[in-house]
Amino acid sequence: DRQLEDVYRLQAPGLARYFRARFRGQEDPEDMVQDLFARLAAGRPLQELRNPQAYLRRILRNYLIDRNRRERRAPAMLPLDGIEPAVPPSQSHAIEVMQLQDRYRAGVEALAPRTREVFLMHRVEEISVKAIADQLEISSRTVEWHLAQAIMKIGEILERE
Segment 36-59 shows an average pLDDT of: 80
Domain holding 110, by residue range, is 89-160
CA neighbor of 32 nearest in space, from 6, 45, 14, 55? 14
Residue 149, Cβ density class (10 Å: 0-12 exposed, 13-18 middle, ≥19 buried): middle
CATH number of the CATH domain containing 99: 1.10.10.10
Mean pLDDT taken over the chain: 81
- Domain membership flag for residue 63: yes
Dump pLDDT digits (tens) for 70-105.
777 766 555 555 555 555 566 667 777 788 888 888
* Domain edge (last residue) among 73, 101, 127: 73
Q: Are residues 62 and 111 in the same domain?
A: no
Q: Are residues 57 and 104 in the same domain?
A: no
- Domain membership flag for residue 30: yes
120 or 57: which leads in pLDDT: 120
Dump pLDDT digits (tens) for 34-44.
888 888 887 77
- Domain membership flag for residue 140: yes
Q: Are residues 134 and 109 in the same domain?
A: yes
Q: Are residues 32 and 66 in the same domain?
A: yes
Structural domain total, the chain? 2
Residue 134 has what pLDDT? 95
- Domain membership flag for residue 78: no
Taking the C-alpha atoms of residue 106 and residue 103, their distance in angstroms, rounded to an integer, is 5
- Domain membership flag for residue 17: yes
Helix then strand then coil, % of the chain, to nearest 5: 75, 0, 25
- Domain membership flag for residue 79: no
Residue 136 has what pLDDT? 94
- Domain membership flag for residue 83: no
Residue 118 has what pLDDT? 94
pLDDT grade, residue 132 (50/70/90)? very high
Residue 83 has what pLDDT? 58
Residue 127, Cβ density class (10 Å: 0-12 exposed, 13-18 middle, ≥19 buried): middle
- Domain membership flag for residue 46: yes
80 or 149: which leads in pLDDT: 149
Residue 95 has what pLDDT? 78
Q: Are residues 102 and 139 in the same domain?
A: yes
* Domain edge (last residue) among 73, 101, 122: 73
